[in-house]
Amino acid sequence: MTATIALVDDDRNILTSVSIALQAEGFVTRVYSDGETALKALIENPPDLAIFDIKMPRMDGLELLRRLREKQATPVIFLTSKDDELDEALGLAMGADDYIAKPFSQRLLIARIRAILRRTELAQAGPAGDEESPGGELERGRLTMDTARHRVTWGGANVTLTVTEFLILETLAQRPGIVKTRNQLMDAAYQDDIYVDDRTIDSHIKRVRRKFRQIDPEFDAIETLYGAGYRFSEE
């Protein structure tokens, strides 16, 4: 099935050039020049993936992501200004799946899009050969993960995770008590030789914890082992 990509940027040149490049690769594109217009359209008709510029008038990309995450977990790639590390950190902390600094190669952008779409398919398909998870379900104490529906609950309450967050949590929950290094979590969540640094994984973990603690303030199932990595509690 052809994937639909939503582009949100106030720069008409970027909208036009990126849209043409994506269409040449077989994607369907929808373009929006401001965050307010995009928000309504994305909620009513979610795309397979969205690309947001951060610095836009009326509603910037960070606010657009924050409000979109209240409704859905559509994968999002941020376009950031070169060397603007604060924007990158904020975007990841708020639940973005990836970021690319301007000016960027369209080939790189397309590679990142394909990688995230493959991760989405992987999350929906579930772990191959996982005998402990018949029907694509993984249960660990109060945690239930339905990989076929990309659905997560904690004590019966729904938790909305991005694709990247889902894959990181699934990797930890598959083997409770086993420490996973940041590199192992990167390999699980990011494929196709895409480089991310330690801060990216740490930001995703913080975001996952925050989401669970909105439901259960005492949530402590994801443990940090300083200098080693993370693990899911064995309880």
Mean pLDDT of the chain: 83
pLDDT at 129 over 70: no
DSSP string, 165-182: HHHHHHHHHHSTT--B-H
Domain boundaries, the chain: 4-124, 137-232
Amino acid at 5: I
Contact 108, 218 (CB under 8 A): no
Q: What pTM, to 2 d.p., does this model score?
A: 0.62
Give the pLDDT mean for 103-113.
Answer: 84
Is the Cα dihedral 96, 98, 100, 106 positive or negative? negative
Percentage of the chain beyond pLDDT 90 is 40
The predicted pLDDT at position 131 comes to 41
Contact 211, 160 (CB under 8 A): yes
Do 4-124 and 137-232 come out as alike in CATH topology?
A: no
If one compares 181 and 235, the residue with the highest pLDDT of the two is: 181
62-79 residue pLDDT tens = 899 989 988 888 889 988
Give the pLDDT mean for 20-38.
Answer: 93
DSSP string, 136-147: GEEEETTEEEET
Give the pLDDT mean for 132-153.
Answer: 77
Determine whether domain 4-124 maps to CATH 3.40.50.2300: yes
CA gap 41, 8 in Å, rounded:
11
If one compares 111 and 140, the residue with the highest pLDDT of the two is: 140
What are the residues whose beta carbons fall under 8 Å from the beta carbon of 189, sequence distance 6 or more? 119, 164, 167, 168, 171, 201, 204
Residue with tokens 């020049």: 33
The predicted pLDDT at position 21 comes to 93
154-180 residue pLDDT tens = 999 988 887 778 889 999 999 999 999
Determine whether domain 137-232 maps to CATH 1.10.10.10: yes
CA gap 63, 154 in Å, rounded:
27
The predicted pLDDT at position 48 comes to 94
pLDDT at 112 over 90: no
Confidence of residue 203 (pLDDT cuts 50, 70, 90): confident
Q: Which two tokens stand for residue 159?
A: 């938790």
Confidence of residue 143 (pLDDT cuts 50, 70, 90): very high
